């Protein structure tokens, strides 16, 4: 029980972790920005009264929400090339998988957010002759967005945690570098402790922001 | 693009995949059970009137909710034995990581349910002389429980998906079995698609079941 | 009443919420069998006053003395702290009825009334059941024993809440606007039950806006203003010939007020 920690050696290899961290952030940024936008369109289709778009969007959302991300990433990296002949790099496969996965969750947030708006707002916009797109951009989204920001923030937190799974298909992000480092130094306890703390420091502000946003929203009585 | 599907390797080895699925469910069931216990302890700790309990409970909850599960899998498998001198099997390490982490999430569900009970209920209990523990057990938890069931189930489905990470510790759950089969048969497309369908079937059926339960709860609440 | 030890004595009671001092020094002695109606405009501190008596709110200063024994550890400024066991004992002796009833929705009416005697006082279930049925009969709801509270009207719910408080066999009952969240046609049945209790010689403190009821119910009326007892006396003195201008102004606002 009198184990003496050797954090020094891990910190000496900080540049390695930093390199991984950059890729983690890049993965996150690509997947999240894409999913926020793509989610809107899937969400619109999901909320649509028309049969076909609704069906496709529902199937898409259910498929991605009811299978593990790990399986999705593996599928894009190892399985899809056999079918399409296109072999994405590990990074591309991971970014694609995370993006599509997060899009499915964002779609549900968009749908709920858009539906939370009273029907009168849509009607008022139509009554002054706005197109659906104008309506969305000028009337609906600006009002719904405040209500959706906490949920999106939570989703961002989930995505940030998910990026670590990219290491399993050899993307050299933070978790991958950590595994390397732990075998090089024979210090897995220190390595994974340090890496857990790095993730926490990165992700926790997001959670705190979501708490604060929710509280502000509730106190506004929205 | 001319891909020739060949599902024969899948059918021939379907028993292996089923075994993997059983292991997935075994790991899930065990971790959910343990996670619920840990979650309840953490929630009561966080809500306890003394800081001595509430601060550590809050720290554990927040730490585990805001770090990736994969790190914990590795920490429990490769790191913890160094500290304790007891090495864990892949199953034990995965179960430990999963139960503690989902315990943190369950704790928030419990806490959310507990604080959602109206203030008047706490006051009425206190007004007839109940102490904190009696109040929780007799008045608050029975009412909170009903509201907790849907989010607890949702969280449990998340856990089932997360068990797939145990493959990285070479525990023989569904994904791990699939990886082994894929390298043996050179049929990744068919095998990974099959396990995706297997996960989907289990989880989708479970979520349909959850909706039915939710529906019944909503009806009973309107009693 | 001055010679015997009062059942309840409030001495120099103050209560602040942060910088907001709601009660600014209240002194009151309540003799056995006294019925005190507390009036005052919204925000004058009526609820806070009642809630300090059974320590639902901890007083900031001053003392609460039950049957000659002060509650909690005493410091120079009054009560410092009270152990939770002592508070629980206090609350079995001082019952409270809330404006919002606060019945337990997951228990039947009978179970609601049995809950305190069984869980807090440790009575046997059969004994508690008999007692609960007794009190339900007293409030006229014996036949509702096996219903869930949501099925009952507001007036019925409040009567159950009264039975629940009575089942603890408290020495003092506190009512905080017991009819304020009831539809007008349901107010009467609850007031009748409370009047019935006053014939049993129970000690009661009641916050109300029903001036007519206060007149018939009370042996003494207090008018609370800005955290102080502004005027007190018999119902005739305070309600018919108030000496203070504020009391007069307050009473004038109740135009539809007949004795
Ligand atoms: N828990 C609390 N925290 C902060 N302020 C409080 C709290 N409870 C009461 N107050 C404040 O104390 C003041 C008196 O409140 P109280 O509820 O005692 O008034 P009241 O006379 O019962 O009024 P009403 O007739 O509306 O019930 C109010 O200004 C209120 O905002
Ligand atoms: Mg009040």
Domains of chain B: 8-222 (1.10.3720.10)
Question: Is there contact between A and C if contact means ≥3 C-beta pairs under 8 Å?
Answer: no
Whether the per-residue pLDDT at A209 is higher than 70: the answer is yes
* Contacting B residues, span 108-127, partner chain C, CB-CB under 8 Å: 118, 120-121, 123-127
CA distance B90 to B201: 26
**pLDDT tens per residue, range B180-196:** 999 999 899 999 999 99
Which pLDDT value is given to residue A216?
85
* Contacting C residues, span 86-145, partner chain B, CB-CB under 8 Å: 87-92, 95-96, 98, 100-106, 115-116, 119-121
CATH dotted code for C8-70+79-252: 3.40.50.300
Which pLDDT value is given to residue A133?
83
Residues of chain B contacting residue C56, judged by C-beta atoms under 8 Å apart: 123, 126-127
Residues of chain A contacting residue B78, judged by C-beta atoms under 8 Å apart: 182, 188-189, 192
Q: What is residue B50's DSSP assignment?
A: S
How many C-beta atoms surround the C-beta of residue B167 within 10 A? Answer: 27
Residue with CA at minimum distance from ligand 1 atom 25:
C42
Question: Is there contact between B and A if contact means ≥3 C-beta pairs under 8 Å?
Answer: yes
Record the tokens describing residue C237, joined without a space.
Answer: 């003195």
CB of C16 closer than 8 Å to CB of C60: yes
Q: CA-based angle A100:A106:A110, to the nearest 5?
A: 140
Residue with CA at minimum distance from ligand 1 atom 30:
C43
pTM of the model: 0.81
Kindly identify the ligand whose nearest atom is closest to the C-alpha of C44. Answer: 1
Best residue in B118, B121, B128, B221 for a mutation probing chain C (most C CBs within 10 Å): B128
Residues of chain A contacting residue B188, judged by C-beta atoms under 8 Å apart: 78-79, 82
CB contact under 8 A, C148 and B129: no
**pLDDT tens per residue, range C188-216:** 999 999 999 999 989 999 999 989 999 99
pLDDT band at A222 (very low <50, low <70, confident <90, very high): very low
CB contact under 8 A, C98 and B134: no
Q: What is residue C140's DSSP assignment?
A: T
Domain boundaries in chain C? 8-70+79-252
The alpha carbon of C57 and the centre of ligand 2 are apart by a number of angstroms equal to 13
Record the tokens describing residue C211, joined without a space.
Answer: 């001036």
CB contact under 8 A, C89 and B139: no
SS3 C175: strand
Reading phi first (left if > 0) and then psi (alpha if -120 to 50, else beta), residue C150 is in alpha
**pLDDT tens per residue, range C136-176:** 999 999 999 999 999 999 999 999 999 999 999 999 999 99
CATH dotted code for A7-220: 1.10.3720.10
Quote the distance between the C-alpha of residue B28 and its chain's center: 7
Rounded to a whole number of angstroms, the distance between the first and last alpha carbons of chain A is 53
Residues of chain B contacting residue A207, judged by C-beta atoms under 8 Å apart: 62, 65-66
Which pLDDT value is given to residue A118?
83
Residue with CA at minimum distance from ligand 1 atom 5:
C17
CB of C149 closer than 8 Å to CB of C141: no
Which pLDDT value is given to residue A9?
86
CB of C30 closer than 8 Å to CB of C7: yes
State the complex-level ipTM.
Answer: 0.91
Q: Is the dihedral of CA C227, C232, C235, C238 positive or negative?
A: negative
pLDDT band at A62 (very low <50, low <70, confident <90, very high): very high
Mean pLDDT of B88-109: 96
CB contact under 8 A, B128 and C165: yes
Whether the per-residue pLDDT at A4 is higher than 50: the answer is yes
Domain boundaries in chain A? 7-220
């Amino acid at each position: 029980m009198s184990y003496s920690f050797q954090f020094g050696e891990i910190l000496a290899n900080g540049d390695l972790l930093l390199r991984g961290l950059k890729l983690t952030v890049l993965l996150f940024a690509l997947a999240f920005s894409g999913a926020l936008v793509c989610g809107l369109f899937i969400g619109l289709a999901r909320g649509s009264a028309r049969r076909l778009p609704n069906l496709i969007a529902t199937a898409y959302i259910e498929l991605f929400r009811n299978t593990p991300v790990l399986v999705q990433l593996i599928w894009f990296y190892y399985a899809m090339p056999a079918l399409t002949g296109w072999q994405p790099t590990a990074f591309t496969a991971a970014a694609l998988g995370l993006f599509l996965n997060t899009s499915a969750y964002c779609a549900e947030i968009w749908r709920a957010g858009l539906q939370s708006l009273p029907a009168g707002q849509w009607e008022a916009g139509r009554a002054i002759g706005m197109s659906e797109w104008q309506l969305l951009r000028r009337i609906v989204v600006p009002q719904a967005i405040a209500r959706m920001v906490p949920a999106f923030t939570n989703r961002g937190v989930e995505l940030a945690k998910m990026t670590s799974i990219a290491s399993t298909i050899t993307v050299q992000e933070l978790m991958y570098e950590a595994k390397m480092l732990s075998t090089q130094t024979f210090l897995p306890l220190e390595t994974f402790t340090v890496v857990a703390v790095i993730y926490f420091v990165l992700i926790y502000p997001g959670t705190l922001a979501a708490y604060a946003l929710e509280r502000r929203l509730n106190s506004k009585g929205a | 693009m001319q891909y020739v599907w060949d599902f024969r390797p899948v059918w021939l080895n379907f028993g292996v995949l089923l075994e993997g699925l059983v292991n997935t469910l075994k790991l899930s069931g065990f971790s959910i059970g343990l996670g619920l216990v840990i979650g309840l302890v953490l929630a009561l700790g966080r809500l306890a009137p003394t800081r001595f309990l509430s601060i550590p409970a809050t720290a554990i909850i927040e730490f585990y909710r805001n770090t990736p599960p994969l790190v914990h899998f590795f920490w429990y498998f490769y790191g913890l034995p160094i500290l304790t001198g007891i090495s864990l099997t892949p199953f034990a390490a995965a179960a430990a990581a999963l139960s503690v982490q989902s315990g943190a999430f369950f704790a928030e569900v419990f806490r959310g349910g507990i604080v959602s009970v109206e203030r008047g209920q706490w006051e009425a209990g206190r007004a007839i002389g109940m102490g904190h523990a009696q109040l929780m057990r007799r008045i608050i938890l029975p009412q909170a429980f009903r509201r907790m069931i849907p989010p607890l189930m949702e969280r449990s489905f998340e856990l089932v998906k997360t068990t797939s990470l145990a493959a990285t510790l070479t525990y023989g759950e569904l994904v791990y079995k699939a990886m082994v089969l894929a390298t043996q048969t050179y049929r990744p497309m068919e095998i990974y698609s099959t396990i995706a369908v297997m996960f989907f079937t289990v989880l989708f059926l479970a979520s349909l079941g959850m909706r039915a339960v939710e529906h019944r709860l909503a009806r009973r609440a309107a009693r | 009443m001055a010679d015997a030890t009062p059942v309840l004595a409030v001495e120099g009671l103050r209560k602040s919420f942060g910088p907001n001092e709601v009660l600014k020094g209240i002194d009151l002695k309540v003799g056995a069998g006294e019925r005190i109606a507390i009036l005052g405009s919204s925000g004058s501190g009526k609820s806070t006053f009642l809630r300090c008596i059974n320590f639902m709110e901890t007083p900031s200063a001053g003392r609460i003395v039950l049957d000659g024994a002060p509650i909690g550890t005493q410091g120079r400024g009054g009560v410092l702290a009270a152990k939770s066991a002592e508070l629980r004992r206090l609350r079995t002796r001082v019952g409270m009825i809330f404006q919002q009833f606060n019945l337990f929705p997951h228990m039947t009416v009978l179970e609601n009334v049995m809950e305190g005697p069984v869980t807090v006082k440790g009575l046997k279930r059969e004994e508690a059941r008999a007692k609960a049925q007794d009190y339900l009969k007293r409030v006229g709801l014996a036949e509702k024993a096996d219903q869930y509270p949501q099925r009952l009207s507001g007036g019925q719910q409040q009567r159950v809440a009264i039975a629940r408080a009575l089942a603890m066999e408290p020495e003092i009952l506190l009512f905080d606007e017991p009819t304020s969240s009831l539809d007008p046609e349901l107010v009467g049945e609850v007031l009748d039950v409370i009047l019935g209790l006053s014939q049993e010689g129970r000690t009661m403190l009641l916050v109300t806006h029903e001036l007519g009821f206060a007149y018939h119910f009370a042996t003494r009326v207090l008018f609370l203003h800005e955290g102080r007892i502004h005027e007190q006396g018999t119902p005739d003195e305070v309600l018919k010939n108030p000496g203070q201008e504020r009391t007069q102004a307050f009473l004038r606002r109740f135009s539809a007020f007949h004795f």
